[in-house]
Amino acid sequence: MPCVCTTCAQHAQILGLDQAPRSRAPLRKAFKSAAKLWHPDRYERDPSKRAEAEERFKQIQVAYRELTEHLETPVQWPVEPAFSAYRSPEPFSAAAFHANPQNAASSAAPAAPPISFGNAPGCFVAPDFSLNADCIVIEHVREPDRALAIVDLSGPASQGSLAQYILFTDHGVFVRDFRNILSLLWYADLGEVRLVAPYRRGLRGLWRKLLERLSGTEQKYELEIRRHDGTLFHAIANQVDDSVKKVIYNFLQQRRPNLRR
């Protein structure tokens, strides 16, 4: 049975539901619909409407968070456990996670090491995500996975749009690149992680270094993330500062399977 407290009834109305949901499936669906409808970026050219959207979006986030909590500890009646078997057919991330047999083992992986970017711009650590980061997390991360941190790879001019990003969860890494392609790498398949000096790549690297110096975006290192078979999963060059690359490097080194044995 759904929670019957007054607060949950009000939160359900905010998400466009007649009553507090019985499971996470309809709750997640309602949240995504409401979040897309009232995301502030939709009203960027209408300042008065954007202010209303920002307030509504905050209410939607609070409603979703508290309804989720009351699914586990409802008032008066226990929640049916059926939601634990829910499988989302929407983003590939959820389907891939639940369909991949390796995840049964990865769900018992050690607790994630701490991650901190020192308030670097465009870097967010859970639970202090931006509005755009929250939408990305809701879209791609499904239990038992959990979002840990996200880094904006879109560049300073994007103003936090997170059009490109790298998202770290308990079980893997999501990357959306400049081609708008979303890729996923489970830590079980994580191979070598390297900080490479671009100037060691020859003339092409020297030319790129010159362009970076002229544009004021020069970085000493490029971060390479490789799969277990040695193929390149993703490389981060001048999208973020070297200090951020080093944090990612240290974090991923601790997630490599061969280092956890």
Please answer whether residues 171 and 107 qualify as being in contact, where contact means their C-beta atoms are separated by less than 8 angstroms: yes
Mean pLDDT of the chain: 76
Q: CB atoms < 10 A from the CB of 119, how many?
A: 7
| Per-residue pLDDT tens over the stretch 120-162 | 989 999 888 888 888 888 888 887 888 999 999 987 666 667 8
Q: Which CATH number does 6-85 carry?
A: 1.10.287
- The class that CATH gives domain 92-259 is mainly beta
pLDDT category at 81 given cuts 50, 70, 90 is very low
**Looking at the chain, how many residues does it have?**
261
| Per-residue pLDDT tens over the stretch 172-192 | 999 999 888 899 999 999 999
Q: What is the pLDDT of residue 36?
A: 87
Backbone angles phi, psi at 226, to 5 degrees: -115, 155
Q: Domain-by-domain residue ranges, the chain? A: 6-85, 92-259
Q: Is 92-259 the same fold as 6-85? A: no
Q: What is the pLDDT of residue 165?
A: 95
* Distance from C-alpha of 192 to C-alpha of 21, rounded to nearest angstrom: 44
* Distance from C-alpha of 46 to C-alpha of 41, rounded to nearest angstrom: 10
For residue 82, pLDDT over 50 is answered with no
Pairing of strands 147-152, 190-196: unpaired
pLDDT category at 164 given cuts 50, 70, 90 is very high
DSSP annotation of 114: P
pLDDT category at 258 given cuts 50, 70, 90 is low
